[in-house]
Structure 1
């Protein structure tokens, strides 16, 4: 186990173990993953040209599974998803059973309907 020590202004020395930091990090990750499950795009969608499946971590296009590197929520409630090789899509207009899919690179846009999981 690795320990670190620090001296306070009154000359007292305190010890702190890194396992505490690991516990805090695990708790933060648990809270983050719980809120990730609430993302409105998570699920299976019929998006006109294919069935797309989104998890908090991946986007399955039907022919490829892409890792989501980052998801940014816009002020309008849309989500822009970032992938490897500078690939980006924006998902918007969430009504529970519908959303819009847009690719700034190609200009393609699709109306998507949620399918039962």
Structure 2
């Protein structure tokens, strides 16, 4: 079975108030279930109140450690800007995984998974 981790982030007070982190996580969980992806509960990473302008975020750090140590087939995030605000940071995160890189996928409506590359 294909393993998946999910990442969600909100930074503003308005986003926290509107519970967008919960809606992001719920949509990603639903997509993972729909695609029959294996999602261990401890592989759900949420950064609440952290800016996407920096790569130093507690949950993102734990996700990067997981990818490096255990290996993950697919990482889902709700939208690219939830991963990082700058495209260069998004590319760095996607390409910086040691060993086989996971497929990274994001889309608010259709979070299609990408196969792991070897």
Per the normalisation by structure 1, the TM-score is 0.29
Query: Higher strand fraction: Structure 1 or Structure 2?
Result: 1
Between structures 1 and 2, the one with greater helix share: 2
| TM-score (norm: length of structure 2) | 0.29
Q: Name which one, 1 or 2, has greater alpha-carbon Rg.
A: 1
